[in-house]
Amino acid sequence: MDLRILSGTLITNQSTGKVMIRFRPHDAEGDARAVGLASIGPDRDFRSEPLRIVALREIRADAHGRARVDDTRRSEHGLEIAWEGADELSYLIIGEPE
């Protein structure tokens, strides 16, 4: 079975925002700048919604010591991430290509 693996780091432009990570072509658009984008495996669409991991790298907690990251929309074509209090996020996407 072939796998397609995408990864990258998002440098946020503001303490609260959203970004859409597109899987093909692998890029990002929104309130963050994508750096260190990497792709391994066939450059084809995912067969179904892939596994996704999003992690906080640098945070700026609010007065209550909280920060938040959520995936707000997801499909086999892309992943939208929203955050509060994050300066950097990293992600890993793994799935089976068509």
Note down the domain range covering 28. Answer: 4-95
For position 64, which CATH number holds? 2.60.40.2080
Number of domains the chain is built from: 1
DSSP sequence for 1-16: ---EEEEEEEEESSSE
| pTM of the full structure | 0.89
CA separation (Å) from 72 to 18, 29, 63, 83? 9, 15, 24, 10
The predicted-structure confidence for 18-65, as pLDDT tens digits, reads as follows 999 999 999 999 999 999 999 999 999 999 999 999 988 777 777 777
